[in-house]
Amino acid sequence: MKNLLEKYYTVCLLLLPLLSFSQRIDNTAAFRDLKSNNYFRFHYDNDYFTATDHYYTQDGNFELASPKLIKNPINNLFKKLKNSEQKYGLSIELMGFAPTSLKSDKILYGDRPFSAAIMLKSFLISTDTIHKTKLSSALSIGIIGPGALGKEMQTKFHEWIHDEIPHGWQYQIKNDILLNYEIAHEKQLYKFHNLLALNSNAKLRLGTVNTNISGGLTTTLGKINSPFTSVKNKNDFQIYGYLQGLVSIIGYDTSLQGGLFNRKSPYVIANSDIDRFTFQTNYGIIIQYKALYLEYSRSELSREFKTGDPHKWGGIRIGHKL
């Protein structure tokens, strides 16, 4: 009977994230931890991986962590946990969004507007190994609009895969300044050896990119070094899966509603048509071997506006310790 209860408890832990479920994939998540404060990582998202080509259509991100970045003055804006270890980093991200059809040269009212953004992010990851807690802070600055080269990025990708050239980018959201601050908290709730773990997640985002608050749970299963310990190389080889569920309360989303300062975009989603609650599920598999990091991920997101549909996409990550 005791063994049966233990099995039931373990299964419940694995399924908990499905009950909580919005945000795009996060660089600072604990399950993506590299046991080094000096590394680089490249990430590419595309809904091509899920045989779709609309909404959140692609995203490229290059991330660098280095102890030398401790001198970055922006770090003074970030909060650190007491008696914690720190990682300092920078990332640059280019993302694009599109409606459900790329064939029309007219505005598709009731659909998602074309938009693209490029941002430079400065971040700090603070880990308290005693209380198994992680606090991540980030400041992003960039632009949304034609200056982000979203049209050129999607066109080149379509040419590369020999697909039709997208139409309608002339109606994209106009150029505007992006500035966002975010802070995320993670706490280890349960751990069974280095095989199974359950963490809580909470994040607050404020600014002209998006304003929202999200929370949820993450389960990891497999051979994994704990992201909440100082031990660097307990396992040279790691392979594990993760399942994350997040629910978000949405205040503002510039990729749907346009920039806060430039209100001359030809088409945006009205404030009254935004869905204020969204649900996102992320899952994937990660392999780490010595200095190498490899990941394949999938994400599913609920409807973001009243006339929209749920969406899904996939992504790959390649990283290396320096």
Report the pLDDT value the prediction gives residue 49, as an integer from 0 to 100. 76
223 neighbors 194 (Cβ within 8 angstroms): yes
The C-alpha atoms of residue 281 and residue 50 are separated, in whole angstroms, by 14
Domain locations along the chain: 2-321
Q: How many CB atoms lie within 10 A of CB 230?
A: 10
- Name the residue among 283, 288, 286 with its Cα closest to residue 312: 283
Reported as a pLDDT band with limits 50, 70 and 90, residue 162 is: confident
Q: Which fold has domain 2-321?
A: Lipocalin (2.40.128)
Q: How many angstroms separate the CA atoms of 270 and 274, rounded?
A: 7
Under the banding of pLDDT at 50, 70 and 90, the label for residue 22 is very low
Reduced to 3 states, what is the DSSP secondary structure of residue 146? Answer: helix
pLDDT tens, 176-218?
999 999 999 999 999 999 899 999 999 999 999 999 999 999 9
Q: State how far the Cα of 308 lies from the Cα of 196, in Å rounded to an integer.
A: 36
Please choose, from the candidates 17, 15, 10, 9, the residue with its C-alpha nearest in 3D space to the C-alpha of residue 200: 17
Tokens representing 71?
């001198």
Higher pLDDT residue, 202 or 234? Answer: 202
A 10 A CB-CB count for 74 gives 17
* Phi and psi, residue 5, nearest 5°: -65, -40
Q: How far apart are CA 276 and CA 259, in angstroms?
A: 18
Provide the pLDDT for residue 10. 45
Beta strands in 152-291 (DSSP E): 176-192, 196-207, 210-223, 237-253, 277-289
Residue 258, C-beta contacts closer than 8 angstroms, at least 6 positions apart? 113, 173, 174, 176, 265, 268
